[in-house]
A and B are shown apart, each in its own frame.
Chain A
């Protein structure tokens, strides 16, 4: 059963990815990520002194500010901020800089489907650009279930609206071991099979959901490779001062 996608992609094909680091001068770290027509800018300031009220001063605090393309900030933006904050909290090493706040600011340049995954990817690149200590990075993908039961990756906005259900999934990025092959990777296993965040919309069966996870994980290795290649290329550029 073939699904007819408007832009001619197959089920498991992602849109063309493009990203760049270090775009802004004032921000400590910045990145821009685009998947097809969806484009998101992320900036990181930190660590700044002090934590916010009601936050644990023995750990670093992460603050997320989500700026939509147009219109006022509403509940949807607050929800995205909360999801992003919890996701980034689980990948950052919070005990390194206690009693500090790291601000992550997301600006939506264009929304054509899979907005939250693009934002998570952009935020991770910006964290690397700012030099915030993290355990590993996160790669995020959107999987959706069509009315026919097929699982489709990386939908555009029109496709998202027509789908029965969709899920935003965040996986840790793949481990690129410097140890020789065959060495015990006891610690690597749990990370590779983990899932950091999952947000679903609509109704889907349990089997569909597990199928989405499988597909998402397979795509996440490709995304991790893309991310790694991009970060390595740009790390040879001059560093920022001040």
Chain B
């Protein structure tokens, strides 16, 4: 049953030709202009590092958790950041459960390079006791709906989740100062992560002979396009990563044009993410202020235990 031809989703030849012909007149099938992004909506369920991002029809959920572990031997003073991408069969009938396929691995690697190698998240501040205890941050990205351009949506979900994640505060204690005490959130306010900059992934699609260039392809356009390229840039104009894995060849000037486009798009998306995070944090703070008695109940609970 796995991978039966009758179960795979394929575009008909008529659909493909329609998309290509429309693109010749700079018309996209969902009415957008070639360099227009779909509507991005960022939602936070609860302020514990979980975010849900909707980019048009694409939906991705990002979840951040942290654990105290022993650091790597060659980096005793740094915490670790790891990204797990789940191409859930929920998102697309062709996604199989089990081991991640090529696309999932590529997506994970692009986001990983953008976040870790550009040092967007400060790993040195995650060190509690050098050589013994550091925080290992784990980002789980669940793809819920594949409407095209999973990389960009997953990247935004990861960033939004990282910005709203709070790790418990801990202090050194014990007899020789070698024990780590983790304080529960009711006693001490958990701390946010130090994020220096936001690397935003922007994906381009290339369509053959006429040199047509698109930003943010939908899954219909992805089935037709000849090549793709993802550029991870931040609002300061730094290039964090560029990924172009095969597909058709593209002249140099097109790459430079893409870079300029990517930088301008990154600025607007960064602003959107920051606004959403700020609005959520404000609301969360207001909720805490309105119920000052809730902390009392928790403390009594602990005493009864």
A101 contacts the other chain (Cβ, under 8 Å)? yes
> Could you tell me the distance between the alpha carbons of A49 and B7 in the complex, rounded to whole angstroms?
7
Whether the Cβ atoms of B144 and A69 lie closer than 8 Å is: no
Whether the Cβ atoms of A25 and B145 lie closer than 8 Å is: yes
Contacts of A52 in B (CB 8 A): 1
Contacts of A30 in B (CB 8 A): 90
Choose, from B21-29, B91-99, B174-182, the stretch at the interface: B91-99
Question: Given the interface contacts A49-B1, A107-B144, does A67 sit within 8 Å of B45 by beta carbon?
Answer: no
Category for how many chain B residues contact A: 20 to 34
Choose, from A36-44, A146-154, A181-189, A226-234, the stretch at the interface: A36-44
Whether the Cβ atoms of A65 and B46 lie closer than 8 Å is: no
- Other-chain residue from A43, A50, A70, A105 in contact with B140 (beta carbon distance below 8 A): A70
Closest to A28 in B: B93
A121 contacts the other chain (Cβ, under 8 Å)? no
Whether the Cβ atoms of A26 and B1 lie closer than 8 Å is: no
How far, in Å, is B229 (CB) from chain A's closest CB? 24
The tally of residues in A whose CB lies under 8 Å from a CB in B reads: 27
Interface residues of A in 51-98 (CB under 8 A from B): 51-52, 65, 67, 69-70
Contacts of A221 in B (CB 8 A): none
A110 contacts the other chain (Cβ, under 8 Å)? yes
A237 contacts the other chain (Cβ, under 8 Å)? no
Choose, from B31-39, B55-63, B122-130, the stretch at the interface: B55-63
B303 contacts the other chain (Cβ, under 8 Å)? no
Closest to A106 in B: B90
Question: Given the interface contacts A6-B297, A45-B93, A67-B88, does A26 sit within 8 Å of B7 by beta carbon?
Answer: no
Whether the Cβ atoms of A24 and B7 lie closer than 8 Å is: no
Interface residues of A in 107-166 (CB under 8 A from B): 107, 109-110
Whether the Cβ atoms of A107 and B90 lie closer than 8 Å is: yes
How far, in Å, is B7 (CB) from chain A's closest CB? 5
Contacts of B50 in A (CB 8 A): 109-110
Whether the Cβ atoms of A37 and B1 lie closer than 8 Å is: no
Question: Given the interface contacts A39-B45, A51-B1, does A26 sit within 8 Å of B89 by beta carbon?
Answer: no
> Could you tell me the distance between the alpha carbons of A233 and B186 in the complex, rounded to whole angstroms?
41
Contacts of B89 in A (CB 8 A): 45, 65, 103, 105
Whether the Cβ atoms of B92 and A26 lie closer than 8 Å is: yes
Q: Mark A10-28, 1 if CB is under 8 A from B, else 0.
A: 0000000000000111110
Closest to A50 in B: B1
Interface residues of A in 164-186 (CB under 8 A from B): none
Contacts of B86 in A (CB 8 A): 67
> Could you tell me the distance between the alpha carbons of A37 and B144 in the complex, rounded to whole angstroms?
20
- Other-chain residue from B1, B46, B90 in contact with A24 (beta carbon distance below 8 A): B90
A48 contacts the other chain (Cβ, under 8 Å)? yes
Contacts of A45 in B (CB 8 A): 89, 93
Contacts of B140 in A (CB 8 A): 69-70
Closest to B52 in A: A109
How far, in Å, is A208 (CB) from chain B's closest CB? 24
How far, in Å, is A27 (CB) from chain B's closest CB? 6
Q: Mark B130-149, 1 if CB is under 8 A from A, else 0.
A: 00000000101010111100
B301 contacts the other chain (Cβ, under 8 Å)? yes
> Could you tell me the distance between the alpha carbons of A50 and B8 in the complex, rounded to whole angstroms?
13
B281 contacts the other chain (Cβ, under 8 Å)? no
A24-B59, A27-B145, A105-B88 given; 17 more Cβ-contact pairs under 8 Å: A6-B297, A24-B145, A25-B145, A26-B57, A26-B92, A45-B93, A48-B7, A49-B7, A50-B1, A51-B1, A65-B97, A67-B88, A70-B138, A109-B50, A109-B61, A110-B45, A110-B46
* Residues of B near any A CB (own CB < 8 A): 1, 4, 6-7, 45-46, 50, 57, 59, 61, 63, 65, 86, 88-93, 97, 138, 140, 142, 144-147, 297, 301
Task: Name 21 A/B residue pairs within 8 A (Cβ), A-sorted.
Answer: A6-B301, A23-B59, A25-B145, A26-B92, A26-B145, A27-B145, A30-B90, A37-B46, A45-B89, A48-B1, A49-B4, A51-B1, A67-B142, A69-B140, A70-B63, A70-B65, A105-B88, A105-B90, A107-B90, A109-B45, A110-B46
